[in-house]
Amino acid sequence: KAGVTQTPRYLIKTRGQQVTLSCSPISGHRSVSWYQQTPGQGLQFLFEYFSETQRNKGNFPGRFSGRQFSNSRSEMNVSTLELGDSALYLCASPTRTGELFFGEGSRLTVL
């Protein structure tokens, strides 16, 4: 199985706080994309980074942001948390043959 690593796996925050999630893509690959999964909305695209540049962005408010470092690791940040931000946040990384592999996700609960 491809090695997309996400940390932390679980976290609990309260409304108004901020959170930072981390993703390490498949070794040697420079593209990382982020998705939010909720029971009501399903899987929705947040943004994609390639070589430290945001290449695409989904329809989410500015409280959701991300960045990518020179070693391809990526972080996403959500500021001023709301109850509706409770979700499974997934990171994905493509292989050279175009397959897109997901990590196990970070489960965020906002109280």
Interface with another protein by CB under 8 A: which residues? 1-2, 4, 6, 31, 33, 35, 42-45, 48, 50, 55-56, 58, 88, 90, 92, 94, 98-105, 107
Please say whether the beta carbons of 33 and 48 come within 8 A. yes
Cβ 27 to another protein shortest distance, Å: 17
Nearest approach, Cβ of residue 39 and another protein (Å): 10
Q: Centre a 10 Å sphere on the Cβ of residue 66 and count the other Cβ atoms it contains.
A: 22
Shortest Å distance, C-beta 83 to another protein:
20
Q: For residue 39, give the nearest of 111, 92, 88 by alpha carbon.
A: 88
